Structure 1
Amino acid sequence: MTTSIQDAAHPFTPRALTALLSPATRLLGLGEPTHGVEAFPELRNELFRHLVEHEGYRSITLESHCLAALTADAYVTDGIGTLEDAMGNGFSHGLGASPANRELLRWMRAHNEQRPPYERLRFYGFDGPLEITGPGSPRPALTALHDYLAAHLDLPWNRETLDELLGPDERWTNPAATTDPTQSVGRTPEANELRLIADDVRALLTAHAPHLTAATSPDDWWRADLHARSAAGLLRYHAGMADTTPTRVGTLMCLRDAMMADNLDAIVRREARRGPTLAFAHNRHLQKDKSRWLLPDGWGPLAGRTLEWWSAGAIIGTHLGDQYAFAATTFGTRGSDIPHPDTLEGLLSTLPAARAVLDPSCLDRKLTPRVPADHTYFALDPATTDQIDAIVFFKEI
């Protein structure tokens, strides 16, 4: 362990992490290297509480269904529903089963109970309406949009038109379309017509924003715009699902992160007058450089191929500049998976603290990249650590 590493690394505290960030930060991305390990969302909770109590943060957003998150937000901000409802219906990707996520909502609700609305913490999801088995139906987003607009504007289409074009939801949620593009309805004439409607709706929302905001509220308009973004992004993703070319999977990765970036941008703009936002997701979605994924066995003819796409963090970083900061987390040992000494994780494993935070600028970018024991974990690339603002290292998970 070199003197520079010793000087740059400190036992983890939230204050030690934020000391490495630009004071201009409006969006802090905290990444995790793998999903399903409670140590990472537990660290997120610890950091978020510090950010709220000492650094003016008033919102958090997770790699979860942006529309489902409205249920969780209603609970934490206004006490609507129960914690069980929020956990069961406010998350996607199985995140409602996480004890750390339960504790996050419980703490946010307790924090908000005695505070006026403008001071209350908000909860967001910034992922698209996607699940592990594939994208959802655009029906919830489109019908919510119709109901909002129809109460104030004359529309060239009605709910019956939407229902006819949408057909049964099972057509959209067919899990077979995840691997077989011929099973997707994303490029049917009906789907193409729905994409035109979604585009027109977004234009109507913008053109009539002054009237709609006055007739409802800024929050109601913001939620309508969220549904409009979701409908357009989801229909675009379904069209990608129907792509029969070899670039299909890479295109879907690009489309998903573009949706994430759009949602992050909208959240930052909404929260601009209240304070910064903490975003929590996989490192690959929040990093500032291009994301890469070597497809493992099980992907048929695509196995062994490396996909490349610009992450949501890279995209939002071009908009925000130094107002976006990225803190990556990684780990040393997990069971029998022990990093080799000449890797970044092997070097960091020589640090004495169980959890350490360090300035990546002191690291040797010529270290050997770690080869994980399984495909669920993405090691940090030593060559791109100059694009990370802080690293939090767990010696063992």
Structure 2
Amino acid sequence: MVRDLQHTVHPLDAAAVLRLFPGRPQILALGEPTHGAGALLRLRNELFRQLVEQEGYRTIALETDCLAGQVVDDYIAAGEGGRDAAVLDDIMARGFSHEWGAFPANRELVRWMRAWNERADEEGRPDADRLRFAGFDGPLEIQAAASPRAALTALYEYLSARVDAELLPCTADVLDRMIGADARWTEPAAMMDPARSVGQSAEARELRLLADDLAALLDSHAPQLIATSTVQEWDRARLYGRTATGLLRYHFWMADPSPARMTRLLAVRDALMADNLLALAERGPVLVSAHNSHLQRGLSTMRMWDHPRLEWWGAGALVSARLGERYGFLATAVGSIRHQGVDDAPPDSVEGVLSALGADRCVVYGPGLSALLEGSVARVSPWFGYAPLDPAQLADLDGVVFLQDVPED
């Protein structure tokens, strides 16, 4: 089996990755099997830098809060702050969710993106050559979803400055009163107990209608709004609309007591991710980093609490259905994560076969990979934070980025 694979194995670099595709994918996604591993994030940074420098990618999107990500995007635009460490500390704290801002490799990525834009300014390069940063996840923490206030008020302020007041579905005071206290939306107990969620209250139901009306104004007045806005203002207004309606939909299903509750929540989250990626791709080619489960083309699955198996279509599956060959997906696989108890992979697992290739890191071309690895078994991880590759998903991969060992940082 290893001998059959040798001709599909190449050193990991941008050129080898792009040879996987008939043309440059509009969205090129790099998945990871575990979050926060420094070695994987540094590998991502290196590959993304090459793809920016050699292949013309200009947007980098990470699995982090799409609203908070605007803080990072503004910073790398080479505005105020420069190389001041305290300013960057603040950007990393406010611009990332899920504590991703604490990881050194993410900090280094932000610093490098800003430096690129500073050089672009100094050399007088066109705006199209500048880098953009985006979070493409919703403002959804593991234990709670955000209040819709930030997205709704930003959307309302954008519209109220550009359309006649009588077209707005309510006043700003009414909107504020309908949202109410943010704490009732972010109640941590609601994740486990739907009865603690405000998402299906009378006020929340009416707020969903208001959000829908505000989002509809964006569509019905698009010619006027585009003409009176910068590209960034228009893009962010659309982001506020998607986020407001998506958040309220998520809160609605948090209050659902049915057995389908968690499946619906997972699906709503990934649908919002997909919409954000498709919107970014309208402006140019995008590099994406997230967990393999969000980016794969097949059904995503997981176990959670008393749910033995949850299934939903992830963002990658949704985007791939829309873009076809313009969506590219590389899954990352690892041989070992010894400090987490993930030792050498069984030789008949996908990771075991890849380990036997003898490369510390490489890219393995996807076409035919499923047939070449026929008979391989699913690896079972002793650590909940790592998800091995599913042999049943191999046919849907464009390639596998393989790292032999993930050391403790």
Band of TM-score, shorter chain: over 0.9
Verify the 8 A CA contact 1:21 1:390 in the aligned structure 2. Answer: no
Verify the 8 A CA contact 1:365 1:383 in the aligned structure 2. Answer: no
Partner of residue 20, structure 2: 20
Is structure 2 residue 354 aligned with structure 1 residue 344?
no
Distance (Å, rounded) in 1 between the aligned partners of 2:22 and 2:94: 36
Is structure 2 residue 122 aligned with structure 1 residue 117?
no
Verify the 8 A CA contact 2:13 2:50 in the aligned structure 1. Answer: no
Deviations 1:330-366 (A, max 9, x none): 1111214221111111111112211121113233233
Distance (Å, rounded) in 2 between the aligned partners of 1:286 and 1:80: 34
Partner of residue 48, structure 2: 48
Structure 1 residue 67: deviation in Å?
0.6
**Aligned residue among 170, 173, 189 for 1:176:** 189
Distance (Å, rounded) in 2 between the aligned partners of 1:24 and 1:50: 14
Structure 1 residue 369: deviation in Å?
0.7
Is structure 2 residue 359 aligned with structure 1 residue 353?
yes
Q: Which amino acid aligns with 1:378?
A: A
Verify the 8 A CA contact 1:365 1:385 in the aligned structure 2. Answer: no
Distance (Å, rounded) in 2 between the aligned partners of 1:366 and 1:251: 33
Structure 1 residue 24: deviation in Å?
4.2
Deviations 1:133-180 (A, max 9, x none): 211000000111111111122123122111111110000001000111
Is structure 2 residue 107 aligned with structure 1 residue 102?
yes
Q: Which amino acid aligns with 2:316?
A: G
Distance (Å, rounded) in 1 between the aligned partners of 2:4 and 2:289: 29
Deviations 1:268-312 (A, max 9, x none): 1122xxxx11010000000011111133xxx1x33xx11100010
Verify the 8 A CA contact 1:209 1:221 in the aligned structure 2. Answer: no
SS in 1 for 2:119: coil
SS in 1 for 2:384: coil
Distance (Å, rounded) in 1 between the aligned partners of 2:170 and 2:283: 30
Deviations 1:23-64 (A, max 9, x none): 141100100001011111211111111111110111110000
SS in 2 for 1:330: strand
Distance (Å, rounded) in 1 between the aligned partners of 2:36 and 2:48: 19
Structure 1 residue 132: deviation in Å?
2.1
Distance (Å, rounded) in 2 between the aligned partners of 1:369 and 1:51: 31
Matches within 5 A, 1:41-80: 41-80=41-80
Distance (Å, rounded) in 1 between the aligned partners of 2:136 and 2:314: 13
Moved over 6 A (4+): none
Verify the 8 A CA contact 2:218 2:238 in the aligned structure 1. Answer: yes
Structure 1 residue 96: deviation in Å?
0.4
Q: Which amino acid aligns with 1:351?
A: L
User: Would you say how many aligned residue pairs link Structure 1 and Structure 2?
Assistant: 387
Distance (Å, rounded) in 1 between the aligned partners of 2:193 and 2:169: 35
**Aligned residue among 113, 134, 151 for 1:141:** 151
**Aligned residue among 175, 196, 207 for 2:220:** 207
SS in 1 for 2:62: strand
Verify the 8 A CA contact 2:363 2:401 in the aligned structure 1. Answer: yes
Partner of residue 88, structure 1: 93
Distance (Å, rounded) in 2 between the aligned partners of 1:247 and 1:341: 37
Matches within 5 A, 1:220-369: 220-271=233-284, 276-295=285-304, 299=305, 301-302=306-307, 305-335=308-338, 336-337=341-342, 338-360=344-366, 361-362=368-369, 363-369=372-378
Distance (Å, rounded) in 2 between the aligned partners of 1:393 and 1:151: 51
**Aligned residue among 131, 136, 139 for 1:126:** 136
Is structure 2 residue 2 aligned with structure 1 residue 5?
no
Distance (Å, rounded) in 1 between the aligned partners of 2:394 and 2:222: 42
SS in 1 for 2:253: helix
Structure 2 segments unaligned to the other structure (5+ residues): 82-86, 121-125
Structure 1 residue 248: deviation in Å?
0.9
SS in 1 for 2:379: coil
Deviations 1:221-263 (A, max 9, x none): 1111100100000000000100101111111111111110010
Verify the 8 A CA contact 1:127 1:259 in the aligned structure 2. Answer: yes
Q: Which amino acid aligns with 2:318?
A: I
Partner of residue 160, structure 2: 150
Structure 1 segments unaligned to the other structure (5+ residues): none
TM, length-normalised to structure 2 = 0.92
SS in 1 for 2:282: helix
Distance (Å, rounded) in 2 between the aligned partners of 1:270 and 1:78: 20
SS in 1 for 2:170: coil
Distance (Å, rounded) in 1 between the aligned partners of 2:115 and 2:397: 33
Q: Which amino acid aligns with 2:19?
A: A
Deviations 1:108-150 (A, max 9, x none): 1000013243321000011011112211000000111111111
Q: Which amino acid aligns with 2:159?
A: L
Matches within 5 A, 1:19-38: 19-38=19-38
Distance (Å, rounded) in 2 between the aligned partners of 1:14 and 1:114: 22
Distance (Å, rounded) in 2 between the aligned partners of 1:168 and 1:22: 52
